[in-house]
């Protein structure tokens, strides 16, 4: 395989923050989020106990349905927000450099740096995810009285939080780096995101967006393919789309990319199919 990029750090590009929130915010919140998560787990357990009839059968149905729905939600988020697959944004060109603004720390530009999540610590992922969902969890805890609805929403949130870890470690497992034992077993037996399937997403770049387990990919792929076929609105990850257009316009083999924002620096690369490759 060609010499693709791994992460920002391995290209000597350092970020002002690891992910969405500032490092200072993560530092302080790491002392509070375990308590928030503990309250969430407590109320989850109480809600399960409050199921009066066919408890374990009902719980199994709720888990199965939310497992699929959460996967579908991650596919939508991945397609429309993370990859910006329908973005019409045109990157600006300055001094023959394509300029890309980075706002999500080391998680920025995932298709340029496919292993960038290895530079986002598990603590940062956990604190960020729990902090993001704190207000909805508080609302459900205080005001939602329907046990089934509460369990449904709780499991959706739990699975979406876990999807950040399955995505990170699918890449780590693919490149034979350390993976925690439990996540490794779940990935090995395809109970969560298959590293090989996710690799296919990066190579083909248009389909298989789910980040939790892939159970919704077939349905979501059909929807996106139908939109592409009948409405001529086809997906393409934003950075790949911009670089391809610039290469074709200027008839280039290699391009220079300048990062601004959270990360500042320059790389030189070329595109092979949909992969960014070192020069």
Domain chopping of the chain, boundaries: 9-278
pLDDT score at 1: 52
CA distance 274 to 264: 23
Q: Is the pLDDT of residue 267 over 80?
A: yes
pLDDT tens per residue across span 158-206: 999 999 999 999 999 998 999 999 999 999 988 899 998 899 899 876 7
CA distance 13 to 46: 46
pLDDT score at 92: 97
pLDDT tens per residue across span 46-73: 999 999 899 999 999 999 999 999 999 9
pLDDT score at 2: 64
Q: What is the pTM of this model?
A: 0.94
Average of pLDDT values for 133-138? 96
pLDDT tens per residue across span 2-20: 689 999 999 999 999 999 9
Residues 6+ apart with CB under 8 A from 111: 83, 202, 205, 237, 239, 240, 274, 276
């Amino acid at each position: 395989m060609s010499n693709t990029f791994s992460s920002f750090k391995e290209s000597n590009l350092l970020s002002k923050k690891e992910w969405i929130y500032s490092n200072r915010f993560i530092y302080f919140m790491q002392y509070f989020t375990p308590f928030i998560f503990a309250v969430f787990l407590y109320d989850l357990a109480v809600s399960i106990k409050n199921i009066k009839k066919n408890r374990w059968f009902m719980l199994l149905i709720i888990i199965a349905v939310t497992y699929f729905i959460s996967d579908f939600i991650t596919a939508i988020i991945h397609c429309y927000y993370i990859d910006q697959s329908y973005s019409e944004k045109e990157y600006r060109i300055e001094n023959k450099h394509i300029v890309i603004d980075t706002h999500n720390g080391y998680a920025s530009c995932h298709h340029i740096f496919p292993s960038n999540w290895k530079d986002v610590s598990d603590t940062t992922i956990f604190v960020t995810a729990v902090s993001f969902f704190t207000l909805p969890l508080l609302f459900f805890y205080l005001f939602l009285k329907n046990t089934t609805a509460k369990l449904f929403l709780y499991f959706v949130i739990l699975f979406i939080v876990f999807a950040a870890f399955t995505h990170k470690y699918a890449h780590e497992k693919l490149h034979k780096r350390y993976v925690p034992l439990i996540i490794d077993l779940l990935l090995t037996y395809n109970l969560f995101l298959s590293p090989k399937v996710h690799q296919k997403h990066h190579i083909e770049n248009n389909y298989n967006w789910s980040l939790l387990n892939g159970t919704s990919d077939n349905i979501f792929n059909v929807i996106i393919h139908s939109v592409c076929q009948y409405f001529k609105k086809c997906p393409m990850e934003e950075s790949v789309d911009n670089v391809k257009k610039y290469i074709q316009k200027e008839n280039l083999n290699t391009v220079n990319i300048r990062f601004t924002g959270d990360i500042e620096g320059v790389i030189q690369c070329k595109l092979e199919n949909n992969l960014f490759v070192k020069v």
